Amino acid sequence: MTTSSPALGTTGTPEGQPAAERRAAPPAAEHGKASQLARGQANWAVKSFLLVLCLVWMVPLIGLLVTSFRDPDDANTTGWWTVFADPFGSWTTENYSTVVQGTMGPAFLNSFVLTIPATIIPILIAAFAAYAFTFMRFRGRDFLFILIVGLLVVPNQVALVPLLQIYADAGLVGTFFSVWLAHTGFGMPLAIFILRGYMQTLPRSIIESASVDGAGHFTTFWRLIVPMSIPALAAFAIFQFLWVWNDLLVAKLFLGSGENEPVTIALQSLLGTQGQGWQLITAGAFITMSVPLLVFITLQRFFVRGLTAGSVKG
Amino acid sequence: MSGSTTRKIAALSVAALFTAGCLSEGGGGGGGGGGGGDTSDGEVEILGAFGGAEGEAFEASLVDFEEESGIDVTYVPSTDFTTEISARVTGNNAPDIAIFPQPGLLLDIASTSDMAPLEDVVDIDALKETLVPGLAESTELDGSTYGVPMRMAVKSVVWTPAPEFADAGYAAPTSTSELTELADTIRDSGTAPWCIGIESGPAIGWVATDWIEEYVLRVGGEDFYNDWARHEVPFNDPIVVEAAETFAEIAFTEGNVFGGRDSIASSGFGNAGNPMFEDPPQCFMHRQANFITTGDFFPAEVTADLDNQVSVFQLPPVDGGAAEGNSVLLGGDWATIFNAEDEEVVEVLEFLASDQFGGPWAQIGGWLSPHTTFDDSQYLDETTRAIAGFAVDSDTVGVDGSDQMPGEVGAGSFWRGMTAWISGQQDLQSVLDDIENTWPED
Amino acid sequence: MIKIINALLAVVAGVGGAMVLYFVLNYAAERLPGRWEHRVKPYVFVGPAVLLIGLFLLYPAIRTLIFSFANRQSTEFVGFENYTDLLGSSAFRTTLLNTLLWIIIVPAFVVVLGLVVAVLADRLGERSEKAAKSIIFLPMAISLVGAATIWSFVYNSRPAGSTQIGLLNAIVVALGFDPIAWLQIDDGKLNSLLLMIIMIWTQAGFAMVLLSAAIKSVPEETLEAARIDGATEVQTFFRIVVPQIWATVITVFITVLIGVMKVFDIIYVATNGNFNTNVIGVEFFNQIFTNRNNGYASAIVIMLMIAIIPVMVYQVRHFKKQEANA
């Protein structure tokens, strides 16, 4: 990360630097090369330690991948690593084809319908709130923000049953709307926390000059703050996307099985009463994982940038 | 943008926001169940616990009925049925019909919601005449019935590898002492007689509860068993201790179980019996319900040629036990109705409860009719017919006790206690005392 | 096809609806006379967020507090009975102890491991560093249920004499020992520790990514100065780098800690709390869904919230200090 980000380049703020440091330090361009402990100075001990660690990290995943291409009888009788002794032995794509022919297709679509709004809506709402907490003065501001910081640690479980009863009275159980709303509520404290942390690092002078030019808060928000906050927005988006996509419990309670079920539920319903068909789960798990992995890989660079700017402060 | 245009777009979009979630809402679920949706719309939603191939077989059994009646039945499988049915009933979004795998949960929900007794909608007495006795009775509460069996599972089946079992000259035992003799003979020949595994992920321990129930039924007899399952006698009654000791003799005797006592709690129930089919067999007997021939539990070459590869016998009576004749332990799935005002829903329930239901499923396998009058020529093979016969011909019938007990016990302390006892963490008496103590007060 | 169109409509309506909501509120606020506009507008911006938090977190928390003093169906009050019952049972005390162990061990390990990888990978060439980091991060994208399932291929145990399909036991057997039922051995909390490894496996990448970024933002001059003063690499790290990244360490620690307190999926799938591995998250789930005991379930959540209070206080203080510095 030696180059400054495009989004931040315009502001001249070095990313992820301690706040106190930043005020004193010269702008990024004159700052020279960003720090580097010792690039390329790894000795064999460091290299082999990391190699072993990476291998250990990969082993369980490789096990799953291999098993997903094996015949259930084989998977039941021999360890997955035995395939490496006989790499041209019996492989099968049957698990995948069975999974794809089942309810996974529509469930995939449902997962997107569920996840996209459940990611964007909280970001939108939190961005407005974070903007107000950062750039506007109003009564109760600090109290409200501290309350939100405190609520970061309240477990979501407390809300499940009371919400179910509220939704029941409103006739919302089984609708996507109910799940969007739930994830929006649950994700709100973290979203506000991250976004406000980031917005604080944006230079106030820009907002002030916009105000002089006659732009209202609403315009400033859309035209200036949102584009400048892209890294933080993306960072939270990854968090929220991973959480919503992988969620089973909220979907199970508020959406339920059937026509609207997301992949997490569809994956489970591949099983019979006594767990018949577990080998399909291995294939299904890989298909399910592909989307969050893709999202993560594409948005990875924002992740670090967005989160650290807010949190790395002295 | 002029003010009025903004307002119009705003109004539309806000309306859209509040209806968007409902756009793809389908299958009768939205009609605020719990007896709420009274209109006959030609659609009936069924929620059940079985997915995968079983779900498909269930749907296949409804095809002809749907064509004749013009009713469109949607089956929704839910692997976490317990959680989901609770959520949907609480959420005022109950399905039209739910098929419960456990009578205990069914009665719990019946007692806390406003479900209608089935006597109001179907002729229970007429059904009872052809049902295997005990199945409908297990869903009775204060004289009303809340569920009708749609499927039966026979648990008292002992599986053996047919060719090797016969070659060795072994014969099916008809009493517990004969069973012990047979086990001793096999053990003396150098092979473990039994394969037992109770591991089942979050549900670890349920296989052991089946074993205990088998022997409570045989030692204590049908009336004692039913009282015990409904907690009219203490859980840790001396008869239960005796029953558990009978099981312990099988499972804990040195050399009796393949892998030893220590392996029981870590062997997955689904594949625990498979060492029977190795060459030479690593064990000769495995007790498990009839479902074990479905899915990928037994090796594919065994299930493909079932009648020649396996032979079955019924777990024999205990010498001097209070049970009359042969005993059988049953599980099942019970259908119940949340929308009794809809005639089409009632029509579907009547079909599910009748002895006409299930032909196509019987031909696929993995399903047994709870009716003694079911045409058993429809079953896939001789082995299945023999197993169905165990239920029909037994004098003493018990319905899975842990399925009737409250969740704390039936899916909690009973499973946990058996696991702790078998893995040697706790002794029998303290396990049974602990389970008794977890029974919730009403 | 209709399904896809419906899906698109739902997404557009959902997202668009939320946007329009703000346009409308803002439009309404702008129509107010001058001073009122300025007074009302901040509440237009924070209002929806505060409403949601109130409805989804605050209201349920208060309701749960009330229900924790009521019976299983929440029909009558029973005083402190739920609390005394739970705390009086030795099984629940084990559950509390296990949860405490998770809280003590997992966040610390995650932070240390993340830091070690971040520091060491920094010394690799650019391409190897990227590859190593991606691999360590990968498990983060997997649901915890998936992770527990994946690890069952490592911890699986079969009776002695049959082929082991679990990796760990295959090694044990190959070395000539009897297979070990890993998840059933609670001596020295072995099984709980093995389950914690799964959690660490999924979270270490998250810690690594954040800490690595923080380390890279430490100004080169401060490092140079230390080196000129003759400090060793290790001294430089602890005296110069660690103080500068401390805020990030705390953020990572607390984020992981919060996740660990709520942990449920891993244990539920692997053991369902058997063999003395139970934790509060699993016990709550079983009380509310298996036992349908709202009183116990509520009391458990309230105890969890009480346990979280010190973290909350620290979080708020930390935040206030940051504010004062800014």
**pLDDT tens sequence across A222-245:** 877 888 777 778 777 887 888 888
Q: Please say whether the beta carbons of A240 and A116 come within 8 A.
A: no
Q: Please say whether the beta carbons of B134 and B397 come within 8 A.
A: yes
C-alpha to C-alpha distance for A64 and C148, rounded to whole angstroms? 11
Among candidates B45, B49, B52 on the partner chain, residue whose Cβ is nearest the Cβ of A277: B52
pLDDT value of position C32: 77
Most confident option among B99-113, C126-140, C227-241: B99-113
Residue B21 binned pLDDT confidence (cut-offs 50, 70, 90): very low
CB contact under 8 A, C24 and B83: no
C-alpha to C-alpha distance for C43 and A136, rounded to whole angstroms? 10
- A279 is written with which tokens? 């080998």
- C263 is written with which tokens? 């942990």
List of chains touching B (3+ CB pairs within 8 A): A, C
Put simply, whether B382 touches A (Cβ < 8 Å) is: no
Amino acid at C262: K
Q: How many beta-carbon pairs under 8 angstroms link A with B?
A: 148
Residue C84, number of CB atoms within 10 A of its CB: 12
Percent of chain B with pLDDT over 90: 66
Closest B-chain CA to C161? B259
pLDDT value of position C40: 77
Q: How many CA within 13 A on the CB side of residue B100?
A: 28
Contacts of A140 (CB under 8 A, 6+ apart): none
Distance from CA of A87 to the nearest CA of C (A): 17
Most confident option among C8-12, C103-107, C155-159: C103-107
Among candidates B21, B93, B200 on the partner chain, residue whose Cβ is nearest the Cβ of A176: B21
- Sheet hosting strand B310-314, strand order edge to edge: B192-194, B283-287, B157-161, B310-314
- A293 is written with which tokens? 């992995």
Worst-scoring range by mean pLDDT, A208-212, B128-132, C173-177?
A: A208-212
Worst-scoring range by mean pLDDT, A307-311, B388-392, C12-16, C211-215?
A: A307-311
CB contact under 8 A, B93 and A268: no
- Asked if pLDDT for residue C85 goes beyond 80, the answer is yes
pLDDT value of position B354: 93
| Beta-bridge partners for B158 | B287, B313
Q: How many CA within 13 A on the CB side of residue C150?
A: 27
C-alpha to C-alpha distance for C303 and C86, rounded to whole angstroms? 10
* CA proximity to B230, closest of B245, B216, B251, B218: B216
Amino acid at A177: F
**Best of B14, B19, B25 to mutate (most A CBs within 10 Å, chain A):** B25
**Over chain C, what is the mean pLDDT?**
83
Percent of chain C with pLDDT over 70: 97
DSSP state of C144: H
Residue B323 binned pLDDT confidence (cut-offs 50, 70, 90): very high
Over residues B400-424, the mean pLDDT reads 89
- B214 is written with which tokens? 């088998």
Residue A136 binned pLDDT confidence (cut-offs 50, 70, 90): confident
pLDDT in tens, B250-265: 999 999 999 999 889 8
Contacts of A208 (CB under 8 A, 6+ apart): none
CB contact under 8 A, B78 and A273: no
- Asked if pLDDT for residue A279 goes beyond 50, the answer is yes
* CA proximity to A262, closest of A51, A30, A92, A104: A104
pLDDT in tens, C244-261: 888 778 778 877 887 888
Distances (CA, A) of B341 to B41, B357, C267: 12, 23, 43
C-alpha to C-alpha distance for A12 and A203, rounded to whole angstroms? 9
- A10 is written with which tokens? 């315009």
**Over chain B, what is the mean pLDDT?**
86
DSSP H or E run through B145: strand B144-145
- B137 is written with which tokens? 């009775």
Put simply, whether A272 touches B (Cβ < 8 Å) is: yes
Residue B33 binned pLDDT confidence (cut-offs 50, 70, 90): very low
3-state secondary structure of C99: helix
Residue A55, number of CB atoms within 10 A of its CB: 11
Q: What superfamily in CATH does domain C81-325 come from?
A: MetI-like (1.10.3720.10)
CB contact under 8 A, B24 and C293: no
CB contact under 8 A, B21 and A172: yes
Judging contacts by C-beta atoms under 8 Å, the chain C residues touching residue A63 are 150, 153-154, 167
pLDDT value of position B96: 93
Amino acid at B35: G
One DSSP character per residue, B65-113 reads HHHHH--EEEEEE-TTHHHHHHHHHHTT---SEEEES-HHHHHHHHHHS
pLDDT in tens, B269-304: 988 999 999 989 999 999 999 999 988 889 989 999
Q: Are strands B157-161 and B97-100 parallel, antiparallel or unpaired?
A: unpaired
Contacts of C202 (CB under 8 A, 6+ apart): C139, C140, C142, C144, C147
Query: Which domains are seen in chain A, by residue range?
Result: 44-84 (no CATH), 98-308 (1.10.3720.10)
Put simply, whether C127 touches B (Cβ < 8 Å) is: no
DSSP H or E run through C171: helix C167-174
pLDDT in tens, C254-289: 778 878 887 887 888 788 888 888 898 888 888 887
Worst-scoring range by mean pLDDT, A256-260, B4-8, B398-402, C311-315?
A: B4-8
Q: Please say whether the beta carbons of A141 and C42 come within 8 A.
A: yes
pLDDT value of position A297: 74
C-alpha to C-alpha distance for C70 and C80, rounded to whole angstroms? 9
CB contact under 8 A, C123 and A186: no
pLDDT value of position C48: 86
Burial of A92 (0-12, 13-18, 19+ CB in 10 A): middle
Which phi and psi (to 5°) does residue C130 adopt?
Answer: -60, -45
CB contact under 8 A, B440 and C16: no
Q: How many beta-carbon pairs under 8 angstroms link A with C?
A: 330
One DSSP character per residue, C206-222 reads HHHHHHHHHHHTS-HHH
Percent of chain B with pLDDT over 70: 91
Judging contacts by C-beta atoms under 8 Å, the chain B residues touching residue A113 are 24
**Best of C153, C164, C182, C252 to mutate (most A CBs within 10 Å, chain A):** C153
pLDDT value of position A10: 28
Q: Structural domain boundaries of chain C?
A: 2-67, 81-325
Query: Which domains are seen in chain B, by residue range?
Result: 43-153+331-398 (3.40.190.10), 157-328+401-437 (3.40.190.10)
Among candidates A46, A78, A185 on the partner chain, residue whose Cβ is nearest the Cβ of C53: A185
Judging contacts by C-beta atoms under 8 Å, the chain C residues touching residue B408 are 290-291, 293
Q: Please say whether the beta carbons of B370 and B149 come within 8 A.
A: yes
Which value, to the nearest 10 degrees, does the dihedral of the CA atoms of residues B158, B161, B162, B167 take? -120
Put simply, whether C261 touches A (Cβ < 8 Å) is: yes
DSSP state of A25: S
DSSP H or E run through B44: strand B43-48
List of chains touching A (3+ CB pairs within 8 A): B, C
Among candidates C122, C136, C297 on the partner chain, residue whose Cβ is nearest the Cβ of A57: C136
Judging contacts by C-beta atoms under 8 Å, the chain C residues touching residue A65 are none
pLDDT value of position B337: 93
CB contact under 8 A, B108 and C23: no
- Asked if pLDDT for residue A9 goes beyond 50, the answer is no
Put simply, whether A106 touches B (Cβ < 8 Å) is: no
- C46 is written with which tokens? 């924070």
Closest B-chain CA to C7? B24
Report the Cα C121 to chain-centroid distance in Å.
25
In B190-266 the beta strands, taken as DSSP E runs, fall at 192-194
Residue B430, number of CB atoms within 10 A of its CB: 13
Over residues B208-219, the mean pLDDT reads 96
Q: Which of residues 19-78 of C touch A (CB under 8 A)?
A: 19, 22, 26, 30, 39, 41-43, 45-46, 48-50, 52-53, 55-61, 63-64
Residue C326 binned pLDDT confidence (cut-offs 50, 70, 90): low
CB contact under 8 A, B52 and A77: no
- A15 is written with which tokens? 């990313």
C-alpha to C-alpha distance for B228 and B237, rounded to whole angstroms? 8
* CA proximity to B24, closest of C225, A233, C4: C4
Distances (CA, A) of A281 to A72, B77, B303, C145: 11, 16, 22, 11
**Greatest distance between any 2 Cα atoms in chain C:** 85
- A191 is written with which tokens? 């979203």
Contacts of C251 (CB under 8 A, 6+ apart): A311, C210
Among candidates B24, B84, B297 on the partner chain, residue whose Cβ is nearest the Cβ of A260: B24
Contacts of A14 (CB under 8 A, 6+ apart): A4, A8, A22, A25, A27, A28, A31, A34, C217
Judging contacts by C-beta atoms under 8 Å, the chain B residues touching residue C4 are none
Distances (CA, A) of C141 to A112, A306, B283, B303, C134: 16, 18, 43, 38, 11
Among candidates A37, A53, A138 on the partner chain, residue whose Cβ is nearest the Cβ of C123: A37
Distance from CA of A313 to the nearest CA of C (A): 6
pLDDT in tens, A201-218: 777 777 777 777 777 777
pLDDT value of position B312: 96
Worst-scoring range by mean pLDDT, A27-41, B140-154, C139-153?
A: A27-41
